[in-house]
């Protein structure tokens, strides 16, 4: 809008607006929006925005929302602002809008978590030792321990993959191979000897 427009009277403001409109918008403002001659500039612009929104399909807005990904050089804050702006026109319910925004952020980020935190997701070499004090597990007084003793059957198609994963965990020092009376049963089920957590 023109500089100093707020200092003009309502009639002068509307006259200034008219100079910016084409013939189609002149007809819409005059005959299609139901605006009175005494309406303020805010009322006029609000009616115009409402008309524009009514011409846009909510499905298209949602499509834009669900396909909006973070650009290569776009900062996270800029991406978040853009998503919030688009979501305002998607007619999401109040209780689910935050969940949809969160999901879109996670799936639309250009940078993967492995790129942002490479050290955390580094799988080369042995497992790094934790820093800080010793960990403690606190149990409730009325806690009742449970245990699953039955071996879980792995589909034949995944047995080689499971064996490779166990070998990888052993090599990284996360688990150690042990021998027990259940070794035969475990070997038949998993295709590998039983592995237990190292102390």
Q: Where are the domains of the chain?
A: 5-54, 58-116, 156-197
Position 117 scores a pLDDT of: 64
Apex 151 CA angle, 150 and 157, nearest 5: 150
Position 113 scores a pLDDT of: 58
Position 182 scores a pLDDT of: 54
Position 188 scores a pLDDT of: 44
Spell out the alpha helix ranges (H) of the chain: 10-18, 23-27, 41-54, 58-67, 76-87, 97-108, 113-116, 159-171, 183-190
pLDDT, one tens digit per residue, over 82-129 is 999 888 888 888 778 888 888 888 888 876 655 666 776 676 767 677
Place of tokens 């606190």: 138
Whole-number Å distance between alpha carbons of 55 and 42: 20
Instruction: Give the residues of the chain that fall short of pLDDT 70.
Output: 1-6, 111-117, 120-121, 123, 125, 127, 151, 180-199
Position 106 scores a pLDDT of: 80
Position 59 scores a pLDDT of: 80
Position 72 scores a pLDDT of: 83
**How far is residue 133 from each of residues 85, 129, 136, 140, 180, measured CA to CA in Å?**
45, 12, 9, 22, 33
Place of tokens 């050290």: 119
Position 197 scores a pLDDT of: 43
Position 37 scores a pLDDT of: 79
């Amino acid at each position: 809008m023109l500089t100093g427009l707020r200092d003009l009277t309502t009639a002068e403001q509307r006259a200034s607006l008219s100079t910016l409109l084409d013939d189609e918008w002149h007809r819409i403002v005059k005959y299609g929006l139901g605006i009175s001659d005494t309406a303020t500039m805010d009322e006029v612009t609000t009616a115009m925005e409402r008309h524009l929104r009514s011409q846009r399909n909510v499905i298209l807005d949602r499509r834009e929302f669900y396909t909006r990904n973070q650009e290569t050089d776009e900062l996270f804050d800029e991406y978040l602002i853009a998503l919030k702006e688009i979501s305002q026109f998607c007619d999401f319910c109040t209780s689910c809008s935050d969940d949809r925004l969160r999901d879109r952020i996670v799936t639309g980020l250009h940078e993967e978590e492995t790129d942002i935190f490479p050290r955390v997701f580094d799988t080369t070499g042995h497992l790094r030792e934790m820093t800080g004090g010793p960990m403690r597990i606190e149990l409730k007084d009325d806690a009742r321990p449970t245990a699953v003793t039955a071996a879980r059957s792995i589909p034949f198609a995944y047995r080689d993959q499971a064996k490779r994963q166990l070998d990888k965990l052993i090599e990284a020092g996360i688990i150690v191979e042990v021998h027990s009376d259940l070794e035969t049963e475990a070997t038949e089920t998993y295709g590998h000897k039983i592995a237990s957590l190292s102390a």
